Amino acid sequence: MQKPKASGSKYVYLMNKKRLIYGLGILCLFVALSHLCLPRQLFNAPYSHIVMDRDGHLLHAGLAKDEQWRFPIPDSVPRKFEQCIIQFEDAHFYKHPGINPFSIWRALKQNSRAGEVVSGASTLSMQTIRLSRNPSERSIKQKCIEAFLALHLEWRYSKEDILKMYCAHAPFGGNVVGLDAASWRYFGKASHRLSWAESACLAVLPNSPGMIHPGRNRHTLRDKRNRLLVKLKEQGIISVSEYQLSLLEDIPAAPERIPSYAPHFASHLKKKHPKQVSFASTLDGTLQRKCLELAHYHYQLLGEKEIQNLAILVLDTKTAEVKAYVGNSTVHAENGFIDMVQRGRSSGSILKPLLYHQQLLVGQLTPEMMVLDIPSYFNGYSPKNFSKTFSGAIKANESLARSLNVPAVRGLQKYGVARFHADLEDMGFSTVTHSSSHYGLPLILGGMDVSLWDLCKVYASMGNSLLSYISNDHLYDQKCIKEPHYLLSSSQKASSFGAHRDIFGAAEVWATLQAMESVKRPTEMGDWESYHSAGSMAWKTGTSFGNKDAWAVGVTPEYTIGIWVGNADGEGRPDIIGASTAGQVLFDIYSYLGPASTFPIPYYDLIERNICKTSGHVATSLCPDQKMEFVPTSSSVSLPCPYHKKVWISESNERVFKHCAAGTQAKDTVWFSLPPQVANYYKESNPSYIPIPKVAEQCPLDQLNHDLALSYPSEHCVIYIPKALNEEKEKTIFSANHRQNDATLFWHIDGTFIAKTEEEHSIAISPQIGMHTVLVMDVNGNQVSQTFEVVN
């Protein structure tokens, strides 16, 4: 018995259901084939690394790994080029599904009549597939494969994405691949700035990049361009006037140089972000080009002195953005490929302001407090000033301004090497790689390497700490600078850039910057020269031992500028001096940037103290000249003035003591008295200084207080005397000071007389290993002694 047929409506319903199921199956199969036939990433070609400035202008581009100029896939295709390439290659691009049947039929007829291939039928989608596969042969089979894959390509990507991929990988002649690279290579501009004529010229190149190339076949290239311009006019895409003007534009004669204004910065970005090829940086393009120009200019000048390399780094003090980054004078210089912004080099005296700040922070200094500048010896280490002279005593801020070495070393000894070593780590110096005992006191004079990157980071942090404190209603937070940021992406911004009281104090920073604004530096001849053009910039220079490194750093509320000059291979030169080399570059950049504003005064972090005008210490009742000064609040722990003393002076202008002043009609007087080892040097630079009178003869000799002092060896001194190249022991220098300039001193070692000195009281000796005692005596019997030890 036959089964009854379904009713008409039910039959139609079932048939439609089957068709729907079949259709969905075919669709699923097509989708599956799309994923199977096309790789997840269509193009695997290497790209050029490109760096854009903060305004989106190309700053640097380099060759890809395969030696091609191939820029990354762009965000969009410029409208003019889009119209040109579509009209030239695929007029129905936005209408077909990846293949154009009408184009295929037309090509078959034309090729059949001609008996050879005279017309192709490839759409832009098919050409994109061909570019991604790069087949070695051109055949009907390959065309069919490309057509099949083009359908899948259209299913996976939008028309806009397909066009972008095509424009990024189309050949434009020679080793130029992609629209963006071609635009820079042939016209020296970004693709969105191309004219209609320039866009048309580039649009015809991928069709036959081997035959048509700027610089040759110019007539052929011009004819093809002009025919495309005619088509654009006929389609109403350009006006008649635009067409006529476009015909007047010339064909490029030869390739242009692609911008390369930041080669070392680009290399640094590649190292930091190895998977990224396109970078939107914070660099100011105009400033970067100016700094590069100045680097080349000074390279020419310094080259005559056999100085090959220099580096420049400019940061925004407020935001920690990198504004300019020049890693070397030029890539063509000797060792010019080395990025000296990141390379660690001997710091010279460039760290002195940081120690000055830390001593202010713990109350060891006030800005005008006297510090000692006398011959000093520290277990065989004897620092010297650049000028080879001593001031005796000098105000702390002036000592920093003059970059005196001896007060800095004495200051580090007082503050503590281990303590300062830890501070440098906290500030962010990545080159602190050894223990504090390894560096010792020479740490402050170049014993530690620093990089220009870290140096600018820390000095920018100082300036920002002060600005942040003021803008934050005179409050500190827990922020401190980490790393300057160089990318515009929010993920790389230095959000932790700010004020942190444990690292930088607003008042102490302000006082340090004030001292740096009056910096003076010695010239090659040793005399003092002041840069009055510095304006409101706080700045500091440094020169490493052996004249191997010259540094300069300047800080304003707007910018922090860092300079390094030297030879990358470490070869020293007499002219490698901070002020005369790095300082000149610093001021050239500062002059270009224009006048700077001044740092605000952090009044809420200052207190008004009564200061002795002469010594700079907190004034006592004995200080005759006093003044009220705003000083950091930390100075509340500073010691009172130790130099103004009450003494008894007789009518014969001799010093007496109260117990022996009877019958002398002596009067008590306040006297500014420095220790003898200080007074002799102080008087040379301060002629108005009057030493305290000598002691009267009627007073007992044991009351002669501090007329004679032993400078070296010091208390508990351990002396190491090295051997010279001829294996003979070298000598160590012992020195003493007497309040009377014409005094004669007699030297004894272990009770044996060894020398007599006049005026200059120094002797060179080579004692045996073991414990010894040195005794020095003047003609009046005044004597001083010290025990010391000599070791291997």
Alpha-carbon gap, residue 743 to 760, rounded angstroms: 10
The C-alpha atoms of residue 495 and residue 319 are separated, in whole angstroms, by 9
The model's confidence at residue 791, banded by pLDDT at 50, 70 and 90, is confident
Grade residue 715 by pLDDT with cuts at 50, 70 and 90: confident
Distance CA 257, CA 447 (A): 43
Question: 101, 91, 84, 155: which is closest to 124 by C-alpha?
Answer: 91
**Strand order across the 744-749 sheet:** 717-720, 783-791, 770-778, 744-749, 752-758
Separation of alpha carbons 653 and 164, rounded Å: 96
Residue 353, φ and ψ in degrees, nearest 5? -60, -30
User: What is d(CA 673, CA 647) in angstroms, rounded to the nearest whole number?
Assistant: 10
Tokens of 107: 């090509």
**What pLDDT is recorded for position 236?**
95
- Spacing of C-alpha 360 from chain mean position: 26
CA distances from 163 to 80, 82, 83 (A): 13, 8, 11
Calpha distance 554→537 (Å, rounded):
6
How many Cβ atoms sit within 10 Å of the Cβ of residue 748?
16
Q: What are the b/e assignments for 709-745, b being 16+ CB within 10 Å?
A: bbbbbeeebebebeeeeeeeeeebebbbbbbeeebeb
Query: Could you read off the pLDDT of 252-266 as tens digits, one per residue?
Result: 888 889 999 999 999
3-state secondary structure (DSSP) of residue 338: coil
Q: What is the pLDDT of residues 748-757, one digit of tens each?
A: 888 778 888 8
Kindly state the average pLDDT of the residues 664-671: 82
CB 172 within 8 A of CB 206: yes
For the chain, how many helices (H) and strands (E)?
Answer: 21, 29
Instruction: Give CA–CA dist 445/408, Å, rounded.
Output: 8
What confidence tier does 38 reach under pLDDT thresholds 50, 70, 90? confident
How far is the C-alpha of 611 from the C-alpha of 616, rounded, in Å? 6
pLDDT of 496 reads 52
Q: Please tell me whether residue 279 adopts helix, strand or coil conformation.
A: strand
pLDDT of residue 252: 86
pLDDT (0 to 100) of residue 304:
92
For residue 138, give both structure tokens.
């051109």
Residue 340: what pLDDT?
Answer: 97
99-114 pLDDT, tens digit per residue, is 877 766 666 666 566 6
The answer to whether the beta carbons of residues 408 and 384 sit under 8 Å apart is no
- Degrees (nearest 5) of the Cα angle 488, 42, 32? 120
Residue 163 pLDDT > 90: yes
Whether the predicted pLDDT of 15 surpasses 70: no
pLDDT at 36 over 60: no
For residue 118, pLDDT over 70 is answered with: no
SS3 41: coil
| pLDDT for residue 766 | 84
Only one residue has tokens 């061909």, namely: 130
Q: How sure is the predictor about 492, in pLDDT bands with cuts at 50, 70 and 90?
A: low
Alpha-carbon distance of 520 to 674, in angstroms, equals: 26
Q: What is the mean pLDDT of the segment spanning 298-305?
A: 94
Give the list of residues 6+ apart from residue 621 with CB closer than 8 angstroms, or none.
none
pLDDT of residue 483: 78
Give, as one character, the DSSP assignment of residue 510.
H
The arithmetic mean of pLDDT across residues 586-607, rounded, is 92
Render 580-611 in DSSP notation, one character per residue: IIIHHHHHHHHHHH----PPPP-GGGEEEEEE
Query: Looking at residues 322-350, what average pLDDT do you find?
Result: 94
> Tokens 């199921």 — which residue?
21
In this prediction, residues 524-534 reach a mean pLDDT of 43
Higher pLDDT, 729 or 652: 652
Measured over the CA atoms of residue 602, residue 606, residue 608 and residue 614, the dihedral's sign is negative
Task: Indicate the SS3 state at residue 74.
Answer: coil
β pairing state of 744-749 and 770-778: antiparallel
The torsion region of residue 641 among left (phi > 0), alpha (psi -120 to 50) and beta comes to beta
Contact (CB, 8 A) for 415 and 362 = yes
pLDDT at 348 over 90: yes
Alpha helix stretches (DSSP H) within 686-775: none
Give the residues across from 530 on adjacent strands. Answer: 520
Mean pLDDT of the chain: 85
φ, ψ dihedrals at 662, nearest 5°: -60, 130
* Cα-based angle 593, 594, 600 (whole degrees, multiple of 5): 100
Distance CA 92, CA 44 (A): 28
User: In this structure, what are the phi and psi dihedrals at residue 160, rounded to the nearest 5 degrees?
Assistant: -65, -40
Residue 506 CB coordination number (10 Å): 29
* pLDDT for residue 6: 52
What tokens appear for 663 in the block? 């019958």
Number of C-beta neighbours around residue 776 at 10 A: 25
The continuous run of DSSP H or E covering 283 comes out as none
Q: Where is average pLDDT lowest: 441-455, 554-568, 772-786?
A: 772-786
Residue 393, beta-bridge partner list: 372
Query: Percentage of the chain with pLDDT > 70?
Result: 84
Tell me, what's the pLDDT at 659?
66
pLDDT at 521: 45
Cα–Cα distance for residue pair 453/530, rounded to 1 Å: 27
Give CA–CA dist 201/220, Å, rounded: 11
Mean pLDDT of 666-694: 87
- Spatial neighbors of 593 by CB under 8 A, at least 6 apart, are 287, 558, 559
Residue 397 phi, psi (nearest 5): -70, -35
Please give the average per-residue pLDDT across 398-418, as a whole number: 93
Region 372-399: mean pLDDT is 90
Identity of residue 306: E
CA dihedral 697, 700, 702, 703 (to 10 degrees): -80
Over 70: is that where the pLDDT of 723 sits?
no
This prediction has a pTM of: 0.82
Cβ atoms within 10 Å, residue 6: 12
Write the pLDDT tens digit of every residue in 702-712: 444 457 888 88
Write down the pLDDT at residue 528: 37
pLDDT at 506: 92
Does the N-terminal peptide bond of residue 39 adopt cis geometry, omega within 30 degrees of 0? no
177-232 tens-digit pLDDT: 999 999 999 999 999 999 999 999 999 998 877 666 655 678 888 999 999 999 99
Q: How confident is the model at residue 675 (pLDDT cuts 50, 70, 90)?
A: confident
Amino acid at 352: K
Compute the CA torsion angle 299, 302, 305, 308 (nearest 10 deg). Answer: -40
Cα(350)–Cα(329) distance, rounded to whole angstroms?
21
- Cβ atoms of 547 and 386 within 8 Å: the answer is no
Nearest CA to 632 among 736, 529, 512? Answer: 512
pLDDT band with cut points at 50, 70 and 90 for residue 769: confident
Instruction: Taking residues 286-301, report their average pLDDT.
Output: 96
User: What span, in angstroms and rounded, lies between the C-alpha atoms of 483 and 485?
Assistant: 6
d(CA 491, CA 483): 13
Q: Which residues contact 353 (CB under 8 A, 6 or more apart)?
A: 400, 459, 512, 515, 516, 540
Q: Could you check whether the bond before residue 713 is cis, i.e. omega within 30 degrees of 0?
A: yes
Query: What value does the mean pLDDT take over residues 620-631?
Result: 89
pLDDT band at 759; cut points 50, 70, 90: confident
What pLDDT does residue 19 have?
66
